[in-house]
C-alpha cells in the first residue's frame, strides 16, 4: 500500500502548479509511487484536492525530466529504471563535473580553493575515523560546491535533476539485499 501524497492548501495557480509538481516528484523519488505505477490524473487530483490541470502540467514536466513516461492510449506511468539509465546518469554527471573541475582551475580564487580543500580534508578525516556517512556527506558537499561555482544556470538545473534521479536510484538500491553496503551512489 502506497503512502498518500501530501499537499498544503495553496491559492496562487503558479505556486499551486509548483507544489503539485514537487509533491508528485517527491512521491516518485521516495518510492511512495513505484516504477511502472499508473499516474491517473483524476485520482491524483482527488488525492491532492486540485483540478486536473496542475496535475497534467506536473506530469508533463516530470516526463521531460525522465521521472514519468506516457504510453499512447494507455496513460502516464512512473518511469522504470534500467541499468542503462544508471550508467547514462553517471556518465552525464561525470561530464558535468569534469567540465566544472576544468573551469574551476581557471577561475577559482584563493578563498574558493581553500574552501574546496577544507571540504576534502573533512571527508578524508571522516574516512580515517571510519565515519562513512560523514565521509559520503563531505564527498557530496565537494561535488555540489564544484558544480555551484560554475554559476551556470543550465548546469545547475541539469545537476539538480541528476541529483533527483540519483536519490531515486539510491532509494531503490536500499531495497536490494546487501546492496546498501556495496553502493555509494
N-term to C-term CA, the chain: 27
The tens digit of pLDDT for each residue in 150-184 reads 889 999 999 999 999 989 988 888 877 654 445 44
CATH class of the domain whose range is 13-78:
mainly alpha
- Looking at the predicted structure, is the pLDDT value of residue 13 above 80? no
* pLDDT confidence bin for 185, thresholds 50/70/90: very low
Distance from C-alpha of 181 to C-alpha of 185, rounded to nearest angstrom: 11
Q: What is the mean pLDDT of residues 86-115?
A: 93
Q: Where do the structural domains in the chain lie, given as residue ranges?
A: 13-78, 83-182
pLDDT of residue 16: 87
Q: Tens digits of per-residue pLDDT, 30-62? A: 999 999 999 999 999 999 999 999 999 999 999
Cα angle: 26, vertex 30, 36; to 5 degrees: 90
pLDDT 10s digits, 73-84: 999 999 998 999
Calpha distance 28→68 (Å, rounded): 9
pLDDT tens digits, one per residue of 110-129: 999 999 999 999 999 999 99
pLDDT at residue 75, rounded to an integer:
94
pTM: 0.74
158, 164, 160, 155: which is closest to 103 by C-alpha?
A: 155
Amino acid at each position: 500500500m502506497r503512502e498518500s501524497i501530501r499537499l498544503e492548501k495553496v491559492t496562487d495557480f503558479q505556486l499551486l502548479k509548483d507544489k503539485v509538481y514537487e509533491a508528485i516528484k517527491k512521491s516518485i523519488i521516495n518510492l511512495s509511487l513505484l516504477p511502472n505505477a499508473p499516474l491517473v490524473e483524476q485520482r491524483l487530483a482527488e488525492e491532492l484536492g486540485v483540478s486536473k490541470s496542475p496535475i497534467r502540467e506536473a506530469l508533463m514536466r516530470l516526463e521531460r525530466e525522465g521521472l514519468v513516461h506516457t504510453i499512447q492510449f494507455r496513460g502516464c506511468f512512473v518511469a522504470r529504471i534500467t541499468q542503462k539509465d544508471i550508467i547514462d546518469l553517471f556518465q552525464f554527471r561525470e561530464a558535468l563535473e569534469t567540465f566544472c573541475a576544468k573551469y574551476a582551475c581557471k577561475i577559482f580564487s584563493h578563498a574558493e580553493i581553500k574552501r574546496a580543500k577544507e571540504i576534502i580534508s573533512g571527508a578524508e578525516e571522516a574516512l580515517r575515523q571510519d565515519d562513512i556517512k560523514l565521509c559520503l556527506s563531505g564527498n557530496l558537499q565537494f561535488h555540489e560546491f564544484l558544480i555551484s561555482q560554475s554559476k551556470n544556470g543550465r548546469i545547475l538545473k541539469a545537476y539538480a535533476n541528476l541529483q533527483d534521479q540519483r536519490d531515486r536510484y539510491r532509494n531503490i538500491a536500499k531495497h536490494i539485499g546487501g546492496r546498501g553496503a556495496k553502493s555509494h551512489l
